[in-house]
């Protein structure tokens, strides 16, 4: 069983719990009709709470009729399949809410997160997956447009929620802060202000690319990212991203920057020292001075 948000012709939204048996969907319980997205979200959460505590039929009356016994057993197994299929959604919905992403009043984001964790695939395949397993009919164009909406209007809030959760998991502070970069290339030689040829980690020297810098915490929790011009030298990307992250989230100096030796060049080390940052640097011992060797 699962919760369905059904859009009516009038523009209202019906919230119902639905079960699937023998390939057919059946309404189990209705929780009302909402006129706004906020009302729909409240009804949706109420339906989820009911679903989590609903135990279904406890007693099976098989009697002595063999045909009825077979039919009843098949019905129960089909219902178990439906619960197993949507068990992932019930679990991820709870985690999604506990982290705090339910502060974003948009169910498309919830569906995309669920699909990405359950069945990573292309945007087209994601719409098919959501329809097949969760009966969520999301138009492909809505997903395409939503990625722009997410970046333009919700990126800041998403990152605030994510960082706050990371700090909570790590005991109130970031601790280790790992930084690395990669390059993302396009199957095109066309360039613009962001896409330009440069040193490609994929060996795609003829294509245009962008440079992606990423900060993660201990345990791999994402903290922040930034895109740079494809021709940008990766060694110059680290300090601006760390400075920006520290300022936006009012961090003290209770974190340690960790990066590979390619990023910890002499200039970056000096800037880290001047800013009062702690850091761990990787280097070849044989290339260091005698004091470091000792």
pLDDT, tens only, 203-242: 888 899 999 999 999 988 889 999 999 999 998 999 999 9
Query: Residue 60 pLDDT > 60, yes or no?
Result: no
| pLDDT band, residue 62 (cuts 50/70/90) | very low
Query: Residue 64 pLDDT > 60, yes or no?
Result: no
Q: Which helix (H) or strand (E) holds 31?
A: strand 24-34
Side by side, which strands form the sheet with 278-281?
A: 222-229, 209-217, 175-185, 255-259, 278-281
For residue 253, give both structure tokens: 């100096």
pLDDT at 162: 92
pLDDT at 215: 94
pLDDT at 70: 63
Query: Residue 82 pLDDT > 70, yes or no?
Result: no
- C-alpha 258/C-alpha 276 separation (Å) is 14
User: Under the phi-then-psi rule, with left for phi > 0, alpha for psi from -120 to 50, and beta for the rest, what region is 166?
Assistant: alpha
Query: Residue 56 pLDDT > 70, yes or no?
Result: no
Mean per-residue pLDDT over the chain, rounded: 84
pLDDT, tens only, 94-114: 999 999 999 988 888 888 998
pLDDT, tens only, 158-198: 999 999 999 998 888 888 999 999 999 999 888 998 999 99
Which of 276, 281, 264, 271 has its CA nearest to residue 240? 271
Topology adopted by domain 171-184+210-293: Nucleotidyltransferase; domain 5 (3.30.420)
pLDDT, tens only, 134-165: 778 888 998 888 888 888 888 889 999 999 99
pLDDT above 70 covers a percentage of the chain that reads: 87
Domain edges within the chain: 171-184+210-293
């Amino acid at each position: 069983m699962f919760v369905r948000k059904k859009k009516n012709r009038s523009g209202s939204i019906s919230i119902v719990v639905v079960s699937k048996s023998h390939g057919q969907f059946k309404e189990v319980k209705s929780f009302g009709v909402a006129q706004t997205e906020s009302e729909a979200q409240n009804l949706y959460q109420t339906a989820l709470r009911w679903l989590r505590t609903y135990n279904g039929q406890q007693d099976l009356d098989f009697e002595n009729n063999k045909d009825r016994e077979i039919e009843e057993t098949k019905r129960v197994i089909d219902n178990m399949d439906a619960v197993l299929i949507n068990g992932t959604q019930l679990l991820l919905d709870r985690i999604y809410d506990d982290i705090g992403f339910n502060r974003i009043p948009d169910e498309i984001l919830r569906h995309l997160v669920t699909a990405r964790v359950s069945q990573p695939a292309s945007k087209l395949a994601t719409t098919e997956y959501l329809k097949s397993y969760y009966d969520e009919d999301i138009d492909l164009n809505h997903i395409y447009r939503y990625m722009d909406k997410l970046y333009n209007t919700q990126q800041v809030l998403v990152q605030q929620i994510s960082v706050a959760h990371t700090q909570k998991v790590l005991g109130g502070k970031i601790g280790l802060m790992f930084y690395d970069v990669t390059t993302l290339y396009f199957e095109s030689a066309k360039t613009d202000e962001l896409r330009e040829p440069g040193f490609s980690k994929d060996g795609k020297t003829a294509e245009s690319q962008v440079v992606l810098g990423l900060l993660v915490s201990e345990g791999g929790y994402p903290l922040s990212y930034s895109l740079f011009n494809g021709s940008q030298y990766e060694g110059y990307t680290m300090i601006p991203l760390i400075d920006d992250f520290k300022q936006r989230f009012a961090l003290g100096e209770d974190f340690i920057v960790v990066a590979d030796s390619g990023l910890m060049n002499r200039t970056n080390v000096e800037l880290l020292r001047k800013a009062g940052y702690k850091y761990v640097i990787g280097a070849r011992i044989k290339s260091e001075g005698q004091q470091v060797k000792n």
